[in-house]
C-alpha cells in the first residue's frame, strides 16, 4: 500500500507511461485475486446474510480502483 501511494505521488509529479502501466497492472491483478479469493474461500464459509454484503464490498472496491486507474 505504501509503495502504491508513493508510486502514485511520483506519477502525479511527472507522467511516466511505464510506471502508470505497472500501477494499473498491479491494481487490476489485486482486483482479480480478490475476486478469486471471494469465490474460492469466502463464499463457501459465509454464515450470515451480512457476510454477502461484506464480500460484495471487498470485491467492488479494488474493481472500482482498477477501473479508475
Decide: pTM greater than 0.85.
no
pLDDT value of residue 20: 93
Report how many domains make up the chain. 1
Q: Which residues contact 19 (CB under 8 A, 6 or more apart)?
A: 7, 10, 11
C-alpha distance from residue 26 to each of 1, 41, 43 (Å):
11, 21, 24
Residue 52, domain extent: 2-68
pLDDT value of residue 11: 93
- Give residue-wise pLDDT tens across range 16-63: 999 999 999 999 999 999 999 999 998 888 888 899 999 999 999 989
Amino acid at each position: 500500500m505504501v509503495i502504491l501511494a508513493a508510486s502514485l505521488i511520483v506519477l502525479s509529479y511527472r507522467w511516466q507511461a511505464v510506471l502508470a502501466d505497472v500501477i494499473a497492472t498491479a491494481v487490476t491483478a489485486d482486483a482479480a485475486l480478490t475476486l478469486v479469493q471471494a469465490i474460492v474461500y469466502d463464499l463457501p464459509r459465509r454464515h450470515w446474510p451480512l457476510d454477502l454484503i461484506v464480500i460484495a464490498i471487498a470485491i467492488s472496491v479494488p474493481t472500482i480502483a482498477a477501473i479508475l486507474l
